[in-house]
């Protein structure tokens, strides 16, 4: 009899993942810290032309780029003379499942179908689950979505419940679990028992699927404005959105555009804590994912994560929960677009950043998501109040994650706070070197790390010496 205990299943993880991804990650390893990232992306995924064709086959991509003329005019009223960049929004909510995640899912499900897998499994509480279920339905594959939904009281977040409903509507079997380590165990067990494909958020298929989004942003912006965007703001959670979009921009010849990540500030809340689980009003696009995934990217459900945001980030900013809810209402009232709050994280940041940019400059908000039911601000704020969180109008600086959501009284109060990328690079290096205290880095390792954190090899060696010496 096969041992299905937690310890036994976790011990079988490498083989389970290898069979479920059709990727032997060992061929990209070099024996040390380094691995050949670009080789992995070339050989394991598809090229951008193939991906565009795969996505078109199921109605994914070629989404509109919309100029937010009324919001731009508002920003110029509250900005200094000559300031207030043109703000554009890439409306990914028109994809079949209502978010940019359809791009990731389209490639993963196609690959699973091509290689004869009977179905696909994804561990996600977000829009990716609905995207996988939608794409699986189009290609006549079965799908299972494993969600982390409940705290120990059995209370589930409205946004996650809504996403579970969407998955079921597309025909998926949804396994809903409480917060804790059983999520990954159940995910591995389901992969082993079914022989389904692991439609992970972090495979090369998933990340390469987003490259078409970056290509479209570059091409559409140039067609409409006559120039490439000066800045592209990307909601940052696990890093795939940033990585894929940045790679697509570069493919399109738009390498000079600043890639700016934006997350909701949920500092002080522990994402794996039962008591904190229902005290956050954003289940994605927040610092609880954005920071740890950037500084420790390989702690995921595949051996090597294809989402590596520090390779591509020019800037990382945070906004508050109250600002995102305020901007969500603004988008609906001024532009006639009702979209989900999580996707509007980058819009809140873009409004703050546009105030500092010249009027002839262009800033693009890279995605939107669908809204409705538990994803709407009303149920989210009602749920926050039910969990003892104060909701009031006032200064966004008074937001306290898990205690108070303060909604601005005026658009001039919207601001973006920078996260120090050098500190994140240092954290990344500490995590990488944690198991290498008595080892000397090879030239290949140093070159790899230099690419990972966008510093020179000399800077990497200097940082390594500081960490190794305990400073």
Q: Which pLDDT belongs to residue 71?
A: 98
d(CA 353, CA 347): 10
261 beta partners: 234, 316
Q: Which pLDDT belongs to residue 1?
A: 77
155 beta partners: none
| CA neighbours closer than 13 Å in the CB half-sphere of residue 342 | 29
Q: Which pLDDT belongs to residue 458?
A: 96
Helices 345-354 and 69-78, packing angle to 10 deg: 50
Length, in residues, of the chain:
471
Supply 269's token pair. Answer: 């809340």
**Across the 471 residues of the chain, what is the mean pLDDT of every consecutive 10-residue run?**
92 93 91 90 90 98 98 98 98 97 98 97 94 98 96 91 95 93 91 97 96 98 98 97 98 96 94 86 91 95 95 98 97 97 94 98 97 90 95 96 97 97 96 78 93 96 88 63
Q: Which pLDDT belongs to residue 146?
A: 96
> Which letter does DSSP use for residue 94 in this model?
G
Q: Which pLDDT belongs to residue 41?
A: 95
Q: Which pLDDT belongs to residue 270?
A: 87
Q: Which pLDDT belongs to residue 290?
A: 95
Q: Which pLDDT belongs to residue 45?
A: 80
Q: Which pLDDT belongs to residue 439?
A: 67
Q: Is 61 buried (19+), middle (13-18) or exposed (0-12) by CB count in 10 A? A: buried
d(CA 467, CA 275): 34
Instruction: Please say whether the beta carbons of 272 and 179 come within 8 A.
Output: yes
- Among all chains, which residue has been given the structure tokens 């509250």? 78
């Amino acid at each position: 009899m096969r041992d299905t205990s937690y310890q036994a299943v976790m011990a079988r993880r490498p083989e389970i993942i290898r069979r479920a991804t059709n990727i032997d990650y060992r061929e990209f390893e070099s024996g040390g810290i380094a691995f050949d990232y670009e080789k992995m992306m070339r050989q394991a995924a598809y090229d951008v032309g193939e991906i565009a064709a795969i996505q078109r086959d199921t109605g994914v991509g070629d989404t509109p780029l919309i100029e937010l003329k009324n919001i731009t005019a508002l920003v110029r009223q509250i900005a200094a003379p000559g300031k207030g960049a043109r703000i554009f929004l890439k409306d990914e909510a028109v994809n079949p499942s209502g978010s940019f995640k359809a791009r990731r899912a389209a490639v993963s499900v196609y690959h699973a179908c091509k290689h004869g897998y009977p179905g696909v499994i994804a561990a996600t509480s977000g829009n990716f689950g609905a995207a996988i279920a939608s794409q699986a339905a189009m290609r006549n594959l079965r799908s299972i979505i494993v969600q982390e939904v409940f705290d120990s009281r059995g209370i589930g977040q409205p946004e996650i419940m809504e996403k579970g409903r969407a998955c079921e509507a597309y025909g998926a079997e949804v396994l809903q679990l409480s917060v804790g380590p059983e999520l990954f165990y159940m995910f591995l067990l389901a992969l082993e028992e079914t022989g389904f494909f692991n439609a992970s958020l972090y495979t090369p298929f998933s990340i390469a699927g987003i490259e078409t989004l970056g290509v479209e942003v570059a091409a559409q912006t140039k067609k409409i404005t006559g120039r490439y965007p000066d800045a592209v703001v990307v909601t940052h959670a696990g890093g795939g959105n940033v990585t894929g979009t940045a790679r697509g921009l570069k493919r399109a010849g738009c390498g000079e555009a600043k890639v700016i990540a934006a997350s909701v500030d949920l500092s002080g809340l522990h994402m794996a804590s039962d008591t904190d689980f229902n005290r956050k009003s954003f289940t994605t696009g927040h610092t609880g994912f954005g920071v740890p995934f950037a500084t420790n990217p390989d702690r995921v459900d595949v051996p090597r994560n294809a989402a590596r945001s520090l390779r591509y980030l020019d800037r990382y900013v945070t906004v508050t929960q109250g600002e995102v809810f305020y901007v969500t209402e603004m988008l609906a009232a001024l532009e006639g677009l009702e979209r989900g709050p999580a996707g509007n994280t980058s819009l809140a940041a873009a409004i703050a950043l546009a105030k500092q940019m010249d009027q002839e400059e262009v800033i693009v908000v890279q995605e939107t998501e669908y809204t409705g039911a538990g994803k709407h601000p009303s149920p989210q704020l009602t749920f926050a109040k039910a969990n003892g969180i104060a909701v009031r109008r006032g200064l966004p600086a008074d937001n306290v994650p898990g205690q108070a959501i303060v909604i601005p009284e005026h658009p001039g109060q919207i601001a973006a706070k920078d996260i120090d990328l050098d500190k994140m690079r240092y954290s990344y290096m500490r995590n990488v070197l944690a198991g290498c205290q008595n080892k000397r880095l090879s030239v290949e390792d140093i070159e790899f790390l230099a690419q990972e954190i966008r510093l020179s090899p000399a800077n990497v060696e200097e940082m390594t010496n500081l960490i190794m010496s305990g400073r």
